[in-house]
Amino acid sequence: MKLTWSQVTPEATYLSRRSFIAAGAAVIASPAFGLSGKPSAFSTEEQQNTLDEITNYNNFYEFGTGKTDPARNAGALKTSPWSIEIGGMVDRPGSYGVEDLAPDSALEERIYRLRCVEAWSMVIPWLGVTLASVLEKAGVQSGAKYVSFQTAVRPDEMPGLRGGYIEWPYREGLRLDEAMHPLTILATGLYGKVLPNQNGAPIRLVVPWKYGFKSIKSIVAITLTDQQPQTSWQMLQPSEYGFYANVNPTVDHPRWSQATERRIGAGLFGGREETLMFNGYAEQVASLYSGMDLAKNY
């Protein structure tokens, strides 16, 4: 007999696992790091992956293409001091320190599903601030339509840069309305602690309704533009990876189905779970794409 999730999970959790917490999660606090998160109405109540799972099964090609390479290699990344160059179509371009963009006092906890385009998923309790709050600090100009992001390039600290697979720096981008959406955050922590290097320290994007590759790590540049920016996976293989990359169980990857996913850590009991439209965030984000052909704009 194959056990289903409902047989290994308390019923209350099962019944609400696809729903959002209405009134807020427990406030967490970590005196060791001084990080604490205010509760968020956007968090899922699904069972969270363990810290061990979240920090030992990663994609971070700057440190190697294997899932355990980042855990082994990312410790070399010097994450302090760290600043982000915010430029392009903003009123106040310049170099912004991470501590000013995401002060500990402003951090919120967001427990989000993360769905990789490779069809595995996790639930991760991030700490972060909305990207909107960061962009407002720089003052977005009225002509701006897109936001582009770049990861650090540090050959001495990133052994994966020698792999010629991706044209470095790793690049990502969002439409401005996606960037300003309240679900979109810049994370500086997880599980109440400072973000581990393999997860994108000191500051990374998290866009929970898009495939994981959109959630770019260790960001050093944010640029507001009126042109759709180039993004790493689209540059590499445009027929397989689009600019939007919204999680969509009805639009398959050319080489595999996107209808289901494997929840990391659930392997012993679980079969695969159904992948949800917009990764379960349709209620919040579907209106951003009304009138768009999502099979074309993959």
Ligand X SMILES: Nc1nc2c(c(=O)[nH]1)N[C@H]1C(S)=C(S)[C@@H](COP(=O)(O)O)O[C@H]1N2
Q: Which residues contact 116 (CB under 8 A, 6 or more apart)?
A: 59, 211, 212, 213
Residue 217 touches which of Mo ion, ligand X, none (Cβ within 5-8 Å per kind): ligand X
Q: Is 212 in the site for Mo ion (CB under 5 A)?
A: yes
Report in angstroms how near the CB of residue 187 gets to Mo ion at its nearest: 16
Query: Residues forming the annotated binding site for Mo-molybdopterin?
Result: 58, 61-62, 116, 151, 199, 204, 215-217
d(CA 81, CA 98) in angstroms, rounded, equals 8
**3-class DSSP assignment, residue 240:** coil
Length of the chain counted residue by residue: 298
Is 9:18 a contact under the CB 8 Å cutoff? no
d(CA 135, CA 178) in angstroms, rounded, equals 12
Query: Residues forming the annotated binding site?
Result: 58, 61-62, 116, 151, 199, 204, 215-217
Report in angstroms how near the CB of residue 219 gets to Mo ion at its nearest: 17
**3-class DSSP assignment, residue 91:** coil
Token readout for 190 is 């997880």
Residue 131 per-residue DSSP state: H
Residue 114 touches which of ligand X, Mo ion, none (Cβ within 5-8 Å per kind): ligand X
Report in angstroms how near the CB of residue 28 gets to ligand X at its nearest: 19
Interface residues toward ligand X, by CB under 6 A: 58-62, 114, 116, 151, 170, 199-200, 212-213, 215-218
Report in angstroms how near the CB of residue 63 gets to ligand X at its nearest: 8
Nearest to ligand X of 28, 114 (CB atom):
114
Q: Is 63 in the site for Mo ion (CB under 5 A)?
A: no
Residue 67 per-residue DSSP state: T
Residues at the contact surface with Mo ion, assessed by CB under 5 A: 59, 116, 212-213
